Structures are given as structure tokens and as C-alpha cells.
Amino acid sequence: MALLEVAQLATEFATDEGVVRAVDDVSFDVEAGATVGIVGESGCGKSVTALSIMRLLPQPAGRIAGGSIRFQDHDLTTLSLPEMGQIRGRKIGMVFQEPMTALNPVHTIGRQLTEGMLLHKACGPRDVLRAAANLLDRVGIPSPDIRLGEYPHQLSGGMRQRVVIAMALSCRPDLLIADEPTTALDVTIQAQILELIKDLQAEMGMAVVMITHDLGVIAETCDQVVVMYAGKVAECGSVFDIFDRPAHPYTRGLLDSIPRLDTIPKSRLGVIEGMVPGLLDLPAGCRFENRCPFVVPACGEQAPSLAQIEGQHSVACSRWQQL
């Protein structure tokens, strides 16, 4: 049995224009100790999937409209808020997308880092402060005792991201959800953050859900990959399946847009023409129809379901065998 099983998840938001289904029939599993990447362009539903798992959807607009999220022996969609509070932070940690908004600007790093430990661990304030300093040192922040008394604006972007990672790992969770953990960081710091997450994962034996739009991050860190487009899963499989045998035209388009040393300057980068359809005006058939170079009239008639190719490799494309 997998550590996390997301099955046919549907998440909706009430807007002035109508109900928007931001996540539609999304399913994937996360094994203990494994890393699953969720990749796709902005607005495809990656972060909403993560917030659904954590039960942190903005209220009252957002709601889980269907499906199940099984973590260990619990269906997270049926838990009460107090029950979910015992899992959030202690069993499942999350690194939020933007550290400056994830950290409270009027509280010290020490107060924010120790809050979860005081809530979930049976230890006194002194022990918690000592553990917090050790954790800051473990994530590579110099002079941790001094940093505990500082505020988020006094730290660099890379250091704030390390603090957010330390907060997510303070209770040694079984699952870490990292939502764009390297966004807005320079390339050198990005590499350090990814290496830090990998080292901490190996040390703690936790599973990781890595949410990103960067296929380079996926290739470097993940075992399994879920490719999302317009709220649905377009393709999923092992990292080798996705990079060596991509079956969906959207996945191929993403891979073709990666700069390669063996093709520069001989050819231009690949481009996926067109725009993502609006979630309030989705086509009846395949959601990638208006951008797909292999489209045929039948693609607009019926939405393809996720079909297994071999092993754990699945694709939502009725023409994958002809591509």
C-alpha cells in the first residue's frame, strides 16, 4: 500500500463567473521514501493539488468536489479540522511557493520555527529552541542562535527558503510537499536547495512530492512524474518513461522546449503554439486539442481517458500509438 494515494481528485472554486474545476480526475500514488514530481505550466493545477492534499484551500471559495486522498490509514477528505491539524505539520510537511509570504513578517524566525514543535512534540521551550538551532544549522544557515532572533526581512531569499524547509521538517514528517521550492532563486542557490532536500530525504526516509514547472528539477530529483495540463493528468510514469519515451504531445512539447547543447545554435527552441483553454470554457474533447500538432477531428469529440501503456506508464491521448 502506498504512503499517499490520490484517486480521482476534483477541486472546484466558486467565482463570480461560475464554478471553476481547477483539478479534474487527478490520480497518483506516492510510495514511502520515493519522490514524485508534478510538472506543468502555470495554472495547470499543480499547487491546487498540493493545497487539496493539505486541506488548505482558500475558504469559502475552494472545496474538494470529489475523489479521495488516502494517507496511511486516513482519507484526508473526511477528517475534521482538528484531526487534520494533527496530521498537517507532524505527518505531512509543506514548503510553500514563496518564502516571503509563507513567513510571518512580524514574528521572529525562532517563534515561527518552534511553533510546530511546541504543538506536536512533548518538550519544553528550552529543548525546542535547542532543536530549532540545530535544525537551522542542518539546513545550512550560519550562526543559527543569532538567526532565531531575527525577522524574515533580515534574511536573503535563499536563507528564507532554508528556514521554510526547516519549518516543514521540524517534526520529521513522513511526507514533504515542496511547491516550487527553487522559484525566484539564482541558479547556484537552486542547486543547493535541491541537494539539501535530497540529503534530508535520505536522512529522514521521507517521501517527497516535488511540484515544479522545471523539467531539469524533475530529471534531477524524481522517481515518478505526473504531467498535468489544464487541471487533468496528461501523462504519468517513471522519470525514464517520461524523458525517454514521452507519449503525449504536450509532454513532447515540454521536452522540445529545453535548451540542448547538441542543437544550439543549429535550431531554435521548440514552442507550444496557442494558449491554454479557459477553465470556464473547456472543450468537449481533449483539452490540448487547440495546441496539438497531431490533432484530428475525433480529438474534439470525446475527452481521452488515462490509458496504461506499459508498467506504470499511462497517457491521456487517443493517438499516442500513431505519434
Tens digits of residue pLDDT in 269-311: 778 888 999 999 899 999 999 999 999 998 988 899 999 998 8
Q: Which residue has the higher pLDDT, 208 or 312?
A: 208
The CB-side HSE value for 62 (13 A sphere, CA atoms) comes to: 17
Positive or negative, the CA dihedral 30, 36, 40, 42 is positive
Cα 146–chain centre separation: 32
Distance CA 268, CA 189 (A): 28
21 phi/psi in degrees, rounded to 5:
-95, 100
Size of the chain, expressed as the number of residues it contains: 323
Distance CA 79, CA 150 (A): 36
Question: Region 55-69: what's the mean pLDDT?
Answer: 95
Whether the predicted pLDDT of 26 surpasses 80:
yes
Distance CA 308, CA 128 (A): 48
Banded model confidence at residue 21, pLDDT cuts 50, 70, 90? very high
| Max mean pLDDT range (217-221, 231-235, 264-268) | 231-235
Q: What is the pLDDT of residues 115-152, one digit of tens each?
A: 888 888 767 778 889 989 999 998 989 999 999 999 99
Question: Region 158-177: what's the mean pLDDT?
Answer: 91
Distance CA 23, CA 295 (A): 24
- N-terminal to C-terminal alpha carbon distance within the chain: 34
Q: What number of other Cβ atoms are within 10 A of residue 132's Cβ?
A: 25
Whether the predicted pLDDT of 157 surpasses 90:
no
Whether the predicted pLDDT of 312 surpasses 80:
yes
Q: Closest Cα partner for 161 from 233, 87, 203, 99?
A: 99
| DSSP string covering 116-142 | HHHHHS---HHHHHHHHHHHHHHTT-S
* pLDDT value, residue 267: 62
* pLDDT value, residue 258: 81
* pLDDT value, residue 263: 54
Q: How far is CA 186 from CA 9, 164, 305, in A?
A: 34, 17, 39
With beta carbons less than 8 A apart as the criterion, state whether 23 and 10 touch.
yes
Whether the predicted pLDDT of 1 surpasses 80:
no
Q: Which residue has the higher pLDDT, 118 or 235?
A: 235
Positive or negative, the CA dihedral 196, 200, 205, 210 is negative
Banded model confidence at residue 266, pLDDT cuts 50, 70, 90? low
Whether the predicted pLDDT of 238 surpasses 60:
yes
For all residues of the chain together, what is the average pLDDT? 91
* pLDDT value, residue 264: 54
Banded model confidence at residue 29, pLDDT cuts 50, 70, 90? very high
Q: What is the pTM of this model?
A: 0.92
Residue 191: left (phi > 0), alpha (psi -120 to 50), or beta?
Answer: alpha
* pLDDT value, residue 58: 93
Kind plus residue range of the DSSP H or E element containing 234: strand 232-238
Helices (H), 139-278: 144-147, 157-169, 187-204, 215-221, 239-244, 249-256
Distance CA 26, CA 12 (A): 13
